[in-house]
Amino acid sequence: MSEILVECRALRRSFGSVQALRGVDLKLEPGKIVGLLGPNGSGKTTLIKILNGLLQPSSGEVRIDGRAPGVDTKELVSYLPDREYFPDWMRVSDALDFFQDFYADFDRARAEEMCRALELEQGRSIKTLSKGMREKLQLLLVMSRQARLYLLDEPIAGVDPAARDYILHTILTNYNPQGTVLISTHLISDVEQVLDEAVFLREGEVVLHEAVDSIRERTGQSVDSLFREMFRTGGREGGERNDR
């Protein structure tokens, strides 16, 4: 049995009176690409923030590689938020220097290569780049790390199809095969073929965690189709087998 990389037990998080996570139980093994799937407001971003140490749980336990989120685990986790985080003064080369200085697992040569492929010059000021290019820069920096856990929060939302293909391709060709990639999204049909496993999150709880192949064999539907069914009708079953 392979070791568990990420473990959440009865994880809860509230913001005032709003319960974002209501007791999440989850176990993730290494070497998998996992989709964290759910509608907006289901708690995906909250869960990811707890995993990367940006938020403290209200109660429950989180373990990454057996340890609680902290300085140690941040060395292992490569995080892509759903927003831009570079300061205005930075140039492309500053950003690469930054990652190289703070992350031992950063592969600078690989990052520079990806910049070249995008025709992104090192001397460009980041704030003069287009939004799409800034997002690609963030992605390539995150994927140039040989991390144990990649947390990608909505990497393809609001992105044109060509860029989306680029993003998925970049993820597939650069991730550490011994690591785990957790992709959160509500656009399931676009990422389904990239996933090993799917986790359905509804209103702060995990309602499904299964291998994609298994879902397709068991229900005769794609994960996207099952998702629509489960989240439209509010059915809590794992999807009925369609009579053909």
Binding residues (CB under 8 A) for other proteins: these are 15-16, 31-33, 49, 52-56, 71-72, 74-75, 77, 79, 81, 83-87, 89, 94, 98, 101-103, 165, 168-169, 172-173, 177, 192-196, 212-213, 216-217, 220-222, 225
* Min CB(133)–other proteins separation in Å: 18
Q: What sign results for the dihedral spanned by CA atoms 96, 63, 153, 86? A: negative
25 or 30: whose CB is closer to other proteins?
Answer: 30
Tokens of 137: 């820069």
Residue with tokens 């001397």: 123
Distances (CA, A) of 53 to 62, 69, 233: 10, 5, 35
* Min CB(186)–other proteins separation in Å: 19
Q: Which residues contact 181 (CB under 8 A, 6 or more apart)?
A: 32, 33, 34, 149, 150, 152, 171, 175
* Min CB(35)–other proteins separation in Å: 10
49 or 136: whose CB is closer to other proteins?
Answer: 49
- Report helix, strand or coil for 137: helix
Surface-to-core class of residue 243, CB atoms within 10 Å of its CB (0-12 exposed, 13-18 middle, 19+ buried)? exposed
Instruction: Using DSSP bridges, classify how beta strands 180-185 and 33-37 pair: parallel, antiparallel or unpaired.
Output: parallel
* Min CB(122)–other proteins separation in Å: 15
* Min CB(50)–other proteins separation in Å: 11
25 or 67: whose CB is closer to other proteins?
Answer: 67
25 or 158: whose CB is closer to other proteins?
Answer: 158
85 or 128: whose CB is closer to other proteins?
Answer: 85
